[in-house]
Amino acid sequence: MIHFIFAVLIVFSTQVQAETMRLAATTSFNNSGLSDVLLPAIRMDTGLDVQLLIVGTGQAIRLGEAGDVDAILVHSKTAEAAFVAAGFGTHRRNIMYNDFVIIGPRSDPAKISEAESAVGAIQLIFEARNSFVSRGDDSGTHKKELALWSAAVLDPRHFGPWYKAVGAGMGASLNSASGLNSYIMADRASWLNFGNKGALELLFSGDPMLFNQYAYIAVNPDKHNHVNIQAARRLEQWLLSARAKSIINNYKINGEACIYLQWHALALYYIKGLI
């Protein structure tokens, strides 16, 4: 009986091959569709079978701390710094940027498309008390949104029912916003790749405050000696390679670029006169 159960367990556990590594990445990395392009290229170039766990930044960091993944790809600078400082990661490496955008009903009742800045835009939403969907899941996007509110000297904890913290991933939150015809903040890639836009439209973008930086951190083998640090380093090298650069920079959704390698993003914003 016991033997039987073990036999069954072994059949499945042996499926995990040597050249597999686990990467916890944020929802936006996957929802953008970029991972679908990157993972096959990684397999081809490095032989690494990257198993992607799509979670919020908060959970990604917890997975790294517990040693359940070999590396993380997240976008919340303060949380990353704390992660590395506590010794859970070897070092952080900026990989790519994209930007956050504010989405809302096409009619734009709060008139945020005329706002001067991101903070101005959310102030308009606050004044109009128009319904707003928040991720509310401790993700990088959620943290960025909270940073905007606090820059506007507003505290969402005291908002009325128009402020809806749904506690879900980017896609599910966008679905809610689409259903409620609400304002919402999202990363550009997830928005472009989202299939259920309904009456929503991109209303505001371009403020440097909305930069969204992704960093790659390998989990420190000193904390968890079982992690596949070799593979994690190889992936890091690859992400910095010319080939990765060209794949990422050429990645377009519906003909629109949405995610950029670090240098490129800065250059782009520079060209647009935003910095």
Partner 1 sequence: MNEIWAGIQEAFWLIIILDSDLIEITVRSLKVSFTALVVASALALPFGTWLAIRRFRYRRVTIAALNALMGLPPVVVGLIVYLLLSRSGPFGVLGLLFTPTAMIVAQVIIITPLIASITHQAMRELWSEYHDLLISLNTSKRQRVAALIWDGRRTLMTAALAGFGRAIGEVGAIMIVGGNIDHATRVLTTAIALETGKGDFALALGLGFVLIALTLVVNLAIHALSRTEREGTW
Binding footprint of partner 1 on the chain (CB under 8 A): 1, 4-5, 8-9, 12-13, 15-16, 22, 27, 31, 39, 49, 51-54, 65-68, 168-172, 174-175, 178, 193-197, 224, 226
Tell me how far apart the alpha carbons of residues 56 and 141 are, in angstroms, rounded to a whole number. 9
> What DSSP letter does each residue of 192-236 carry, written as one string?
HH-S--TTEEEEE---GGGEEEEEEEEEPTTT-TTS-HHHHHHHH
Closer residue to partner 1 in complex, CB, 66/267: 66
Closer residue to partner 1 in complex, CB, 163/191: 191
Of 95, 113, 143, the C-alpha closest to 205 is 113
Of 29, 101, 33, the C-alpha closest to 251 is 33
CA atoms within 13 A on the CB side of 232: 25
3 state DSSP class of 275: coil
Tell me how far apart the alpha carbons of residues 192 and 186 are, in angstroms, rounded to a whole number. 10
Q: How far is the CB of 123 from partner 1 (least distance, A)?
A: 28
Closer residue to partner 1 in complex, CB, 68/108: 68
Closer residue to partner 1 in complex, CB, 58/171: 171
Q: How far is the CB of 130 from partner 1 (least distance, A)?
A: 21
Q: How far is the CB of 53 from partner 1 (least distance, A)?
A: 4
Q: How far is the CB of 15 from partner 1 (least distance, A)?
A: 7
Closer residue to partner 1 in complex, CB, 57/178: 178
Closer residue to partner 1 in complex, CB, 52/152: 52
Q: How far is the CB of 191 from partner 1 (least distance, A)?
A: 10
Q: 166: which 2 tokens?
A: 């749904």
User: 201 burial class (0-12, 13-18, 19+ CB within 10 angstroms)?
Assistant: middle
Q: How far is the CB of 142 from partner 1 (least distance, A)?
A: 15
Instruction: Using DSSP bridges, classify how beta strands 256-257 and 132-134 pair: parallel, antiparallel or unpaired.
Output: unpaired
